[in-house]
Amino acid sequence: MSLETAAPPVLSTQTAYYRVSGRPETEAPPLEEITSQYYLGDLAQEIKEKEYKRIALQFPDSLLPHSTVVASALIEELKKKGLGDDILVFVLGDTSYSECCVDEIAAQHVNADVVVHIGVACLNPVVHSPVIYLFGQGKLNLDLCVQIFKGKVPDTSSHVIIVAETPYQVYVDQLKERLAEYTNVLTTVPILSSLTSPDPSAPSETIIPGSLTYSTSTTHTEASPIPHRAHPQLQTGLQSYILFHLGIPPPPAQLQLSTIFSTPPIIFDPEAPLQEASGTVPLARRYKTMLSARAASTIGILVNTLSLRSSSELILSLQQLIRDAGKKHYVVAVGKPNVAKLANFDVVDVWVVVGCARGGMIIDREGEYFKPLVTPFELKLALKRDIVWGAGEWILEFDKVMNLKDDTDDEQEDEGEEAADDEDAPPEFDAVTGRYVASRPLSTAKSARKLHIDVEIENSDVGVTASGNSKVSSQLVSTGGNAGQLATRGSQHYSTAGAFLQSKRFWKGLGSDFADDDESSEDNNGTGERRQGAKLEIGRKGIARGYVSGDV
């Protein structure tokens, strides 16, 4: 009797990153190439000088196949420098939020002394962890890049500025040398926030190798409007320059770059160099989204970062802004946002995203999300109508958004608030749909009457205690003989949650569809008996590999 062999079952499939990105899955390069590509010698020297003991290596999804080889090679480099076995190296994958941001949450889970951020980086300042940025070296066909540059910019006297995604920063100087006949080409280098806005209490930040970043000894002496970049002194206004970008920036960065330069950027994708990369995102669509925020009554503050330095201050600023506008807000953190997660919050009319300017902002170009998503800058424009949206202006930096001021003084602002609370205030209409909207739910009882909401105080809900103080019910909607009417919170304010429950929620729990307004009312059959729900039965139980039915 012969035994036939069979192929083993497939225990794993292609990773989600490569399925979504559509790019071929790659294996880790040889050890020698890894050591030079990730500058492991320089990294080991930095770790030795700073005496770090617990090192967290943060990889993006695209570089996770390199993680084990890089970690092993780093340990060998540390041993060559005489460091003992007390050093621990951790690999961080599946970041909490954007890959370009430092994942301080995961680093705190392993109690890391330093985070080595590998790959594309936004360079935004962090709160707690010391950071070493390791850009690496992405693969780039320099000959083809020069050819495409000359085809897109035939005039050798044109003013051009070169910006690169961080993994391709190593090629910027080489590209400029190959374009010697172009006399007005400038390059940019990454610059850390510790240089532009020093803070003694901030954690240390380092870029390896140091030759790729800004220093006082280089010719890059000016901080650029391009986020986290420095360049030499300009010969003319930045609007007159043509942007040549190595690597595809995410949609928020593309839109921001399109507002800085007068012409669409030229984008060279090293991974697909022969494909035409789009560099335009319509700014007019953002204006429409801003108008949706102006007509919204409930705004969700979507927290898409927990590590950026000014995120807490911005969230508090947005909460105050929304309250001053008479609107209601929720603060929501769902990890990495997607369509399904945000669809669970039906009460929210519009989302304002608090996240990294590079990868944390969500630009819904395909209309996949059920509710509009705006940036903090757009929300401030929507609620502070005295702030004018300048031509071609789109701000993502937290500090700049918080410093935006309108031209009115406090007295004029107070007068405007009183007018808004007046019964004779002009009606509000949604500029997108043209419909009448009630976008100020956090108003007084006077405003509640203007919105045709009946506010009644039930004897069973509001009483007097033995000390003579009024007792306010904690119910949202009154129950009993007058079920369905709103309960009040004191003498002035009503519950917006109760208003939503009464007006928009048709299902209010098991048995609610059988509740009658009158205890003695008859059902549809005229029998005089109250309707009863179906009998509860035992359903399936167990785990996914083997459920047990209730009747077995």
pLDDT tens, 130-145? Answer: 999 999 888 899 999 9
Domain with 97, as residue range(s), is 16-134
Does residue 417 sit within a domain? no
pLDDT of 455 higher than 60: no
- In the chain, % helix, strand, coil (3-state, to 5) comes to 30, 15, 55
Cis bond leading into 209, ω under 30°? yes
Beta 328-332 vs 373-374: how paired, if at all? unpaired
How many angstroms separate the CA atoms of 73 and 79, rounded? 10
pLDDT in tens, 393-441: 788 888 888 887 655 444 444 444 444 454 555 667 666 666 766 666 6
pLDDT of 472 higher than 90: no
CA distances from 390 to 27, 251, 290, 470 (A): 48, 21, 14, 52
1 — pLDDT class (breaks 50, 70, 90) = very low
Q: Are residues 150 and 262 in the same domain?
A: yes
pLDDT in tens, 176-197: 999 999 999 999 888 887 666 6
Q: Are residues 101 and 151 in the same domain?
A: no
Identify the domain boundary among 410, 435, 463: 410
Does residue 275 sit within a domain? no
Q: Are residues 291 and 404 in the same domain?
A: yes
User: Which of 169, 175, 206 is closest to 189 using CA atoms?
Assistant: 169
Q: Which 3 state secondary structure label does DSSP give 67?
A: helix
Please give the tally of structural domains in the chain: 4
Lowest mean pLDDT among 18-27, 98-107, 350-359, 402-411: 18-27
Q: Are residues 314 and 366 in the same domain?
A: yes
Helices 40-50 and 67-80 pack at an angle, to 10 degrees, of 60
pLDDT in tens, 263-287: 888 999 888 777 766 555 577 778 8
Lowest mean pLDDT among 84-88, 151-155, 215-219: 215-219
pLDDT of 513 higher than 90: no
pTM of the entire predicted model: 0.73
Does residue 7 sit within a domain? no
Identify the domain boundary among 410, 425, 454: 410
388 CB neighbour count, 10 Å cutoff: 11
Residues 6+ apart with CB under 8 A from 212: 135, 169, 170, 189, 190
How many angstroms separate the CA atoms of 241 and 280, rounded? 16
For residue 66, what is the domain's CATH number?
3.40.50.11840
pLDDT score of 470: 43
CA distances from 103 to 112, 116, 332, 397 (A): 11, 10, 19, 19
pLDDT in tens, 307-357: 888 888 999 999 999 998 888 899 999 888 999 999 999 889 999 999 888
Q: Are residues 368 and 252 in the same domain?
A: no
Does residue 4 sit within a domain? no
How many angstroms separate the CA atoms of 172 and 182, rounded? 14
Residues 6+ apart with CB under 8 A from 490: 470, 472
> What does the pLDDT average to over 356-364?
83
How many angstroms separate the CA atoms of 50 and 132, rounded? 11
Does residue 47 sit within a domain? yes
> What does the pLDDT average to over 470-483?
47
CA-based R_g, the chain, Å:
30
- The answer to whether the CB of 156 falls within 8 A of the CB of 181 is yes
CA distances from 83 to 70, 87, 94, 179 (A): 17, 8, 29, 44
426 CB neighbour count, 10 Å cutoff: 8
Q: Are residues 66 and 182 in the same domain?
A: no
Amino acid identity of residue 326, one-letter, is G
Lowest mean pLDDT among 39-53, 205-219, 241-255, 311-325: 205-219
Does residue 341 sit within a domain? yes
User: Which of 463, 461, 457 is closest to 493 using CA atoms?
Assistant: 457
Q: Are residues 485 and 400 in the same domain?
A: no
Greater confidence (544 vs 208) lies with: 208
Q: Are residues 89 and 124 in the same domain?
A: yes
pLDDT in tens, 371-392: 999 999 989 988 887 766 766 6
- The answer to whether the CB of 441 falls within 8 A of the CB of 428 is no
- Kindly state the DSSP code that residue 168 receives in the 8-state scheme: G
Q: Are residues 263 and 319 in the same domain?
A: no
- Kindly state the DSSP code that residue 227 receives in the 8-state scheme: T
- The answer to whether the CB of 408 falls within 8 A of the CB of 386 is yes
Q: Are residues 238 and 289 in the same domain?
A: no
